[in-house]
Amino acid sequence: MNYQTYHIPANFTDAGKLFGLFAIRNAIEAALLAVPPVFLCLRFLPFSITTKIIIALTVGIPLGGFALIGVRDDCLSRFILMWWRYRRGRGVITYRGSPERDNKRRRDK
Segments making up each domain of the chain, as ranges: 15-108
**Predicted TM-score of the model (pTM):** 0.65
Mean pLDDT of the chain: 85
CB distance 66 to 76 below 8 Å: yes
CA–CA distances in Å: residue 34 to residues 12, 27, 59, 70, 74 = 30, 10, 8, 14, 18
Distance CA 76, CA 84 (A): 12
Looking at residues 21-26, what average pLDDT do you find? 88
Percent of the chain with pLDDT over 90: 49
CB distance 29 to 74 below 8 Å: no
CB distance 44 to 56 below 8 Å: no
